[in-house]
Every structure is written in structure tokens, then in C-alpha cells.
Structure 1
Amino acid sequence: MKKDPSTSVFIFGLCMILWACNDSGADAFIGINWGRLSSQRLIPSMVVDLLLQNDIKNVRIFQQAANVMEAFYDSGIRVSLGLSNTLLDKYTNSSALGGWIDDKIITYEKVMEFGYVTVGSNPFSPKFSDKMYMNVVDVLMKMQTELNNKNRSHIKATIPTYQDVLNLTSSSRPSEVDFRADIKDEMVRYVQFLRDNNAPLMYSLFPIDHVTNNSLDLEFAFIDNNSTYRIKDINATYKNAIELLYDSLHWAMHKAGAGTVKIVIGAIGWPTDSCPGAGVANAERFYRTFLPYIASGRGTPMRPNEKIDVFLNNLADENRMIPELGAYQRHWGIYKFNGEPKFRIDFSGKGRDIFPSVAKGVTQMPNRWCVFNGNFDDPRLVEVLKVMACNASDCSSLEKGGSCEGLSYVDRVSYAFNRYFQSKGQASQSSNEKCDLAGLGKVVTDNPSKEGCEFPVEILSAEYVVEGETFGSAGERLHGWISASMGLLLLLLLWMIV
């Protein structure tokens, strides 16, 4: 006999009501992601101090070097850590995973508190990787089994997944949404395992991506419900992308028999530069309305009274995120690279009109900038600008929608030269070599910044990227991109010599 679809909807709604009535757990936490894909960055102890100043007690980290782990000793901050996509093949057997747990968790657990163990990073997303990591669910299952076997079952393993695991379109109603057909079998297997192990699904949710990719009203990305765009679904009307994306995932999990699995938002935020709609004002507005929503615990139409745990994306800008992902990916930071907040934000979710704490102990390098000397006749200008200056540093603010988009050509060249100069740690006080740029650059002491476009100066108390770090999926293609850039740079230098 054919099942009446209204019966399924009724049963799902009843389950949600019963779930909401029984949800009497602790208040949701507001944590943050700390990515380190930067040419220079705050040292770990400074970051931990900054988190403590802002009373942030949950953090996701993406590499576990000894100095990073040691910085969290006795801090009271709960750390979530895990394996990147490129490590999945290395940890396909239980013995290897058991060793990883011994090294990364058991070694430190007397002086650190751990949250989640993440396996992979958006492994099913064509946006963040040029391949699917189809072994990730098997590794996840073995990871949780090893945690259980080592009497660490309170630590839950999960796979960070981007919103494109769903077959969501611009007009989709949440109840119509399911997992993408090409990964559905693996996603069903995954969420059912989470259900059986009382583990959460970690979900990367970016409202600006949803409205941009689907040519929707930008207002729909904000949770203050000022958009005139609406999607009606059964007894719910969706006025913002956040609740829409959240409930769409719930429906997909319900269809997979895992409708009660908790969702943790593993990454959510607003970029401040380098795409239409990005900017400091919109980022401040986004958090000003989103964080009180999370703190209220009011939930979503399909999960009323849901207490949603959230990791904000990201603590600071990462100027070495690969540009193919979109230039704005380098500008998720709530902080500038020097530890100064970009805008007002109240991490408590109380909605106070305050700036967060500033990083302590940061020392700025000398006020020196590298600019173009104005020699337009030099035939090497285009090559130097493209290969040496922009490929080796960060020119994302010059992109459409960027804060420096409106600069004149001369100023654009100077901006690129300065980013290269600063990314190399400037040069010694007596040397101009980092600004030579084939004889086209010069060092100045007068700030060349223009209105709305900052020509930054690097910080001295910085930590350089080192080889062998464990990056997330975006960073995994970083090394190839850097290698290609360095190859082009080498060719250019050889050409210049000849």
C-alpha cells in the first residue's frame, strides 16, 4: 500500500516536538575557528590569550604542531582537532588511528580539554577540493571505534561537511531536500553511524554563498528577516538562509533515518573583503543579529528550542588561502592579522555594542611601505606585477567588491608591491632588496593608504608558515599553488638575468 506523504510529515513533526520538549541540555556554545594559512601570524600563546580575554572557551584548530598544542595547556579552552583530507589514506587502519589518538589526545589530556575529533574537511565538496574523498566515512567509523576502545567515547568524531552535500536549489523547500545523489549512500551510512553513536554532524554553513550562488536577494543571508524573499514549506515560512539551510539538512537526515542527530555549525561567518556584499559593515550586522539568535536557543521551524553549538569562521584573515576558492576566502577574519578587531562583536551573544579585546604583545614592523616608482616604460612591469607581487602575496582586496577595487592603476601596482614587501617581512633597515622588484619599486615612509583601502604594515611578533603543517582541505592544494607560483617566479628571474 502506498504511504500517504502527509503521514510522514505528521510523524516527522511529532518527533520534532517530542525532541524539543526533551531538550534540556546546557546552553549552546559560541566557539571559533583558528586557521593559520597566513604568511605571518600571531604566535599561539597570543591567540590563546586573545581567546581567554574574549571568554571564548571552544576552538577548532587545523594543525597540531607541538607549540600550538602546548599553548592550550591548562587554559580551560576546549579544543577540537582532527585529520585533514590528505591524511585519510595514511590512517585507514585501526592501529594507525589508535596511534594518532595516543599522540594527539591521550598525551595531552591531563593538561587540555578536547571537544570533537574531525575527520576530513568538506571531503564531499567540489568547491573545496578537486576530488572526492570517498574513504572518509570508513576512517570516521574506525576513529570513533578506537576512541570508544580507549575509553574516550565522550569524545565524538565527526566529518565537517559543506552545505553543498545537499541538492538544494534557489527554490527548494527544506522538505524537498535530500543529500546529493552522487554521495547519498555514503551520507546515509555516515548519519546513521552518528545516530548510533550519539555523535553530531558538523556543518559548514555560509549564507553569503547560498544567496550569491543562487542569485538571491543579499538580505536573505541575514537572520534579521528584512528580505522580501520567502520560501513556504508545510507550516513554516523561511525568511533567511540560515534557518533554511539548517532545516534542509534536518530533512535530509530525517529521510536517512537519522532525524534526531545533533547539528553543530562547524563554520559560519561573513567575509569583510573581495566580493560583492562583503565588508566590515555587513559582517558587523551579520554577527550582531546572528549571535543573539544562537544565544536565545529559539531554534528553527523544524527544530524549535534547538540549542545550536557554533564555531565562527574565522579568528583572523588567512592571506594564503588559495585564490581559486574565491578571493573573499582570505577575509573571513573577525580580526586583522595583527590582532586588531575589524568591527564590533559581542561573543557572548548578548548583543552589546562593543569591540572585542585586542591581542596583547603585538609589535608592528617599521612604518615603511613599498610602492611603484612610476616607470611605465619598463617591459617587465606586467610580469613582475603578476608573478612576483600578486602570486607570491595577496592582492585579493583589488578584486571586484574589494576594499581597494577603486584604486588607480598606479596605486593598484603600489598596493601589490607593498603586499609582497610586507609578506616577506620587509627588508632589513639598511636594505631595499625586498622592494627592488626588478628595479620598479621604492621604499617610502609616508603612508600611501587611500580612503577605504589600507596599505598594511606587517607585525614583528609573527610566526612564519613552516613545512609539514597539517592544513585543512583548502590548504591541501596550497602547496601545489605555491610551487607553481615559485616556478613562474624562477622563470621570470632567469628571463631577467638573460
Structure 2
Amino acid sequence: MLHRFSFFFFATPLGHESLITQMGFLVESNSLLAPFAIPFLVGHFSALDLNSFVYWSCERKQKRVSYFREMASLQCLFWFFLVYALSIGYVAKGLGCNWGTRSTHPLPANIVVKLLKDNGFDKVKLFEAEAEALKALGNSGIEVMLGIPNEFLAPLASSVGVAEDWVAQNVSSYISKNGVDIRYVAVGNEPFLKTYKDTYLQTTFPALKNIQAALIKAGLGRQVKVTIPVNADVYMAADSGLPSTGDFRSDIRALMISIIKFLRDNGGPLTVNIYPFLSLYDDPHFPVDYAFFSGTSSPVVDGPVSYTNVFDANYDTLIWALEKNGLQSVPVIIGEIGWPSDGDPNANIEYARRFNQGLFNRIIQGQGTPKRSTPPDIYLFGLVDEDAKSIQPGNFERHWGLFYYDGTTKYNLNMGKGRTLAPAKGVKYLARQWCIMAPEANIFDSNLPGSVNYACTYADCTSMGYGSSCSRLDARSNASYAFNMYYQTVNQQNGACQFSNLSLLTTTDPSRDTCRFEIMIDVGKHEQARSPTTSYAGSRRNPMMVVIMLVLMWIIGVVH
């Protein structure tokens, strides 16, 4: 007969310890409230909190007289398996996604919310407060991180009154009227990026403080936390490149420490965007395997730790920087991470699937990093492709989506429990017709270069770039691709397929190999069919089964 179990103690978030203790006394004392205490914990705390509760409960049990030791040990074992079963669901619940809307033909918001739900995303990050998106997220069971664009930082920094108006219009109203579960307000987006120079250096922190004050005044200070999504270039390792040498960038070190202390004091996390793809994109000598989670050929050895992938090394560099500055208790969220599927030789379907599958595997397994074993919340970037994004960083910028622009899947992913990616449902398209170069048109026609240039000026031709999915087309097919993208972008308008008598319409799909000739979403039909937002409330876990299990456990405790 076992007499004692040793449980690894996980530190609970600030403010939870006393509540866990109080709920624990209800269970230990066999109170009639016990069956209801545990579902409360299950619904409000993470798996780490629950493990702390089990540890507390078992330690209390083992302080009883020896007569009850055997029963206490059995109950501890029951607790362990119960919480382990519940924790599996919480591992899956750490999955978030970025919902960007820089598209000429965006998916309707209600379809996007259903797409998120169907694929197990229970957290979403918005880059701005878009009314249709927020309304669709109402009563959906999806937690929201609501972004504030960088151009709003200056007015928000200038006056707390401006911040109060913003919170009232974009946070309070959607929580109270629409039932939107807003958990975070992300103030700015990578405001200290080196390429921005000093543009937002003086306004970001004041804007953050004013938004925090506005949330408190609105009575939302405990429910909604502030954060700032920063790029990974705000910290760096020494010349050795070892994570243990990490610290904040010298030009913003004092500012970063002040901001993170403010976040800590107000219960907010630090959000960081990490892009292993960019390491490969920026450095032609970067080892390819090291960009993925299965890399082993070029490890970075830092004392007793061997880093086999750049994500772990990058993330731990931040954790070391926090620790060196006495900020190790601050939680960290991965605000953006992903891999583009087009627009560059290293941005392709194979690499995107490989990276994202490795990322999903880590989330499913609850895997952390060598320096911080607790897995962070992760927001995948992004949900769908966005054909209207700036391509200043590169042609790949429009192809970060896990799905194509219309919610169709690019590749299969194993998402655990036998689930794979599910495409969007209920999407309405324009007529099934394409604009192509006429077979009789002369490829050497003097009007052809200008026509192709015109089409690509007003449509997305990034898939035709070097190493991209349509880069191997011949000259005639290149012209057809450009003509069709323009024709689809302007909603197949009459006369839109007239390029100096070089083009015609066809009902035969000209797609070939890896190159997709698109047909766009019929935005007009979706506008006409728009109906009140469907509620997708509810948990994937059956709460009744949880209650039944806990009641049985409580009965066992009473009997013994």
C-alpha cells in the first residue's frame, strides 16, 4: 500500500494562492460545497493552478493520523488522475490565433469565428477594434486580445480622457452589450522595432499607463489586462549568441525595464513576437534545421543546455533578460509565431506545414523551453492570407495564413485527438470564370508588358516572384495570372478582362502544379445574407461529466 506521493509544486499566478487554499478546505472538510468548489477551480484556473491545488490537498491529507494514511494516499492518487485528465483539455486550450483583416475580400466575421471554433482556437488576437469582428466574437467562448494600432499611441498618450473614450467605445461596450470576452488590450504592435527608429519611443509607455487607468476607471482593471506586443529585437544575446547572456537592447533597456515592471505591478503579461522564418530569411548562412523544432544538426551549447532550435534559444534569451533585471515572475505570451507558405524560396507549403506541425506538437504536449518549463500561451500568425498587406518586408507578408484567404486548407496538420484542420464553411464565391491571355494573342505584343504591370499594380502578384508558387509559369501563363488576379480583385466587373484585346474569359480552371488561379469571395452575396451573429458559446469539455466525476470523488471522501 502506498503511503505517500510526491507532487512537483507549480507556482500559481499572483492572487490565486489564497483562493486555492480556501477552496481546498471545502474539499478536505467534506463540505456539501465540495462538489461545486472543484468545478469552480476547473473553470477559472489553468492546469498549473490545479496541480498546485492537488499538491496542497495531498499534503493536507497526509498530516492526518496514521489510521487514515492509506485512504489519504488513495484519494491523492484519485486526485492525480482526475487533474491529469482535466489538464489534457487545458493543454489544448493554450492555442490562439491572429485574425488579420488586410484583405480585399475578407471572410465574413461569422464564418471566421466558426472557423476558429472548428479548429480548436479558443483565443484570438485582433490588431484593431473592428466592429464586425468583435460582434461576431460575442458569446463565442473565445478569449480576445484587442490591439491598438501604433498610429493611435500619440493621442492616447496625450490625455487619459482619450484613453477613457477609447476603452468605453471599444472595450466596455462590447463586453457589456455583446458579451465579448476581452482579456487583454495590446497597446501598439512592435512599437520599438528597429526600423521604426524613435517614432513611438516617447508615446508607448504613456499610452500604456493611460489605457490601464481607463480600464480601472471603467471597473475592468481585474478582468482586462494590458500588454505590449514587442518584437524579439528588443532583447539580444552577447556576441557569443548564448541565451544565458541575454539582456535588453541597450538603447531601450531602461524603458523596457520600466514598462515590464508596470506590467508586473498591474498583473499584465509581456507579449513577444518570435519568427524563426525571419532568421532564415535574413541570413543565407543560417542552418535550415535550426529554424524548425526537429533540428539537431547545429545545436547551440549553453552550459548544460543544448539548444536544437532557434525558438527555444530566442525565448530563453528573453527569460534570461527578465531574470537578470529581477523580472523573472512576469508571464510571457507568444503574440505571433508562424511560417509563410509563399512569396520566397523558403516560404513554401512544405516548410510551413513542417514548422506549424512542430508548433502544434509542442502545444499539445504542453512543452516549454529549457529555461522556463511552463509552456506560454501562443497565438499563431496568422489565420488566413491577407492580400492587401504591405510587402515592404517581403512578398511573403501576404502568405502567413494557416488557411488561404477564403478559409480553404493549405495542408494537413495533426491537431491532436484525431483532429485535422477544418476549412471554412458557407463561403460564397464569384462566378466560376477566369480571365486569361487569349490563345491568339502575340506574346511579343508591345501592349503586353504595360498590361501586366497595370494588373499587378492593383492586384496581388506576389506568388509570381522568385521561388514562389507561380514562379515557373511561362510568359503566357504569367500574363494570364496577372490578368486574372486583377479581374478577381475588382469583383469580375464588366470590362475588367479587357487588356488591349489580349485577354478573354474562360470557364476552364487554368491552375497548374503549385500555382492557384483564384476566384474571389462574393462579398456582395455575404453582405445580403448577413444575419444576427450566431452564438458559439460552450466548452469542448462536457461540464456535466466533470461534475459527476467530482461528486463521486466527494462521496468516496465522505464514506472514508
What TM-score, normalized by structure 1, do the two folds share?
0.82
Q: Secondary structure at the match of 1:212?
A: helix
For residues 373-392 of structure 1, what are the structure 2 equivalents within 5 Å? 373=438, 374-386=441-453, 388-392=454-458
SS of the residue 1:249 aligns to: helix
Superposition pairs of residues 103-114 of structure 1, within 5 angstroms? 103-110=169-176, 111-114=179-182
Q: Are 1:426 and 2:484 matched, yes or no?
A: no
Structure 1 residue 287, shift from structure 2 partner: 2.1
Within-5 A mapping of 1:248-287: 248-287=317-356
Q: Is the counterpart of residue 229 in structure 1 residue 298 in structure 2?
A: yes
Quick one: distance in 2 between partners of 1:358 and 1:212? Answer: 29
The one-letter code matched in structure 2 to 1:86 is: E
2:277 alignment partner, SS class: helix
- Are the equivalent residues in 2 in contact too, given 1:343–1:355 (CA < 8 A)? no
* Aligned-residue offset at 1:182: 2.3
Alpha-carbon separation, structure 2, partners of 1:131 and 1:73: 37
Provide the residue aligned with 2:403 in structure 1: 335
Residue of 204, 208, 225 corresponding to 1:156: 225
Q: 1:21 to 1:79 in 2, by over 3 A?
A: closer
CA contact (8 A) 1:175 1:233 kept: yes
177-186 or 259-268, which moves further after superposition? 177-186
Partner of 1:13: none
1:150 CA drift (Å): 2.8
The letter of the residue matching 1:206 is Y
1:41 aligns with 2:89: no
Deviations for 1:428-454, whole angstroms, at most 9, x for unmatched residues? Answer: xxx3x1111344332222221121111
The match for 1:492 is none
Q: Indicate how the Cα distance of structure 1 residues 150 and 231 shifts in structure 2: closer, same or farther if over 3 A, else same.
A: same
CA change 1:377–1:276 in 2 (3 A) is closer
Q: Map of 1:178-197 to 2, 5 A cutoff? A: 178-197=247-266
Secondary structure in 1 matching 2:306: strand
What's the counterpart of residue 25 of structure 1? 49
Offset of residue 461 of structure 1: 4.3
Deviation at 1:360, TM superposition (A): 1.6
**Counterpart of 1:478?**
none
Task: Give the distance between the partners of 1:177 and 1:137, measured in 2 at CA.
Answer: 23
Partner of 1:479: none
Q: Is the 8 A contact 1:292 1:351 kept in 2?
A: no
- The C-alpha deviation readout for 1:285-316, integer Å capped at 9, x for no partner, is 22222122123223111112x13101111110
Distance of 1:463 and 1:342 partners within structure 2:
25
Q: Describe the shift of the 1:41–1:258 C-alpha distance in structure 2 as closer, same or farther (beyond 3 A).
A: same
Q: Is the 8 A contact 1:117 1:156 kept in 2?
A: yes
Task: For 1:61 and 1:147, locate their aligned partners in 2 and report how far apart those are by CA, in whole Å.
Answer: 18
Measured in 1, the distance between the counterparts of 2:343 and 2:214 equals: 43
1:326 equivalent to 2:394? Answer: yes
One-letter identity of the residue aligned with 1:442: L
SS at match of 1:358: coil
Change (3 A) 1:100 1:19: farther
Name the CA distance, whole Å, in 1 between partners of 2:512 and 2:324: 54
Query: Which of 150-159 and 34-43 deviates more?
Result: 150-159
**Counterpart among 514, 528, 531 of residue 452 in structure 1:** 514
- Aligned equivalent of 2:211: 143
CA distance in 2, matches of 1:328, 1:131: 26
Q: What per-residue deviation string (whole Å, max 9, x for no partner) do you get for residues 383-432 of structure 1?
A: 3322x2112111111112211111112211211111111111112xxx3x
Q: How many residues align?
A: 437
Q: Which runs of 5+ in 2 are unaligned?
A: 1-7, 14-47, 51-89, 528-560
Gap runs ≥5 in structure 1: 1-17, 466-498
- Equivalent AA in structure 2 for residue 234 of structure 1: G
Where relative contact order (Cα < 8 A, 6+ residues apart) is larger, the structure is 1
Partner deviation per Cα, 1:119-142 (whole Å, 9 max, x = no partner) = 111111145x57631111221122
- Residue deviations 1:192-247 (CA, integer Å, cap 9, x gap): 212222211111111111233233111111112x3311111122111001101110
- The 3 A distance-change label for structure 1 pair 48 and 118 is same
Change in Cα spacing, 1:89 to 1:301, as seen in structure 2 (3 Å) is same
> Helix, strand or coil for the counterpart of 1:25?
helix
Q: 1:345 aligns with which of 409, 413, 422?
A: 413
Q: Deviations over 1:146-199 (max 9, x none)?
A: 223333223111111111222358951111222222222221211121222221
CA contact (8 A) 2:368 2:375 kept: yes
Tell me, yes or no, if the aligned pair for 1:212 and 1:218 is still in contact at 8 Å.
Answer: no
Percentage of pairs with the same residue: 31
Match for residue 62 of structure 1 among 127, 130, 147: 127
Change (3 A) 1:452 1:274: same
Deviates more, 1:416-425 or 1:62-71: 62-71
Task: Give the direction of change, closer, same or farther, for the CA distance of 1:19–1:229 in structure 2 (3 Å limit).
Answer: farther
Q: Say what the alpha-carbon RMSD is for the aligned residues.
A: 2.3
The 2-side partners of 1:435 and 1:149 are apart by: 56
Structure with max Cα Rg:
2
Aligned twin of 2:290: 220
In structure 1, what is the equivalent of residue 152 of structure 2? 87
Give the secondary-structure state (helix, strand or coil) at the position aligned to 2:155. Answer: coil
1:301 equivalenced with 2:370 (yes/no): yes
Shift of 1:145: 2.6
Q: Secondary structure of 2:205's match?
A: helix
| Shift in alpha-carbon separation, 1:170–1:318, aligned structure 2, 3 A | farther
Match of 1:359 in 2: 424
User: Given the alignment, which residue of 116, 125, 133 partners 2:200?
Assistant: 133
Which amino acid counterpart does residue 152 of structure 1 have in structure 2? Answer: L
TM-score (norm: length of structure 2): 0.74
Does the residue aligned with 1:232 lie in a helix, a strand or coil?
Answer: strand
Aligned partners of 2:333 and 2:378 also within 8 Å:
yes
3-state SS of 2:477 partner = helix
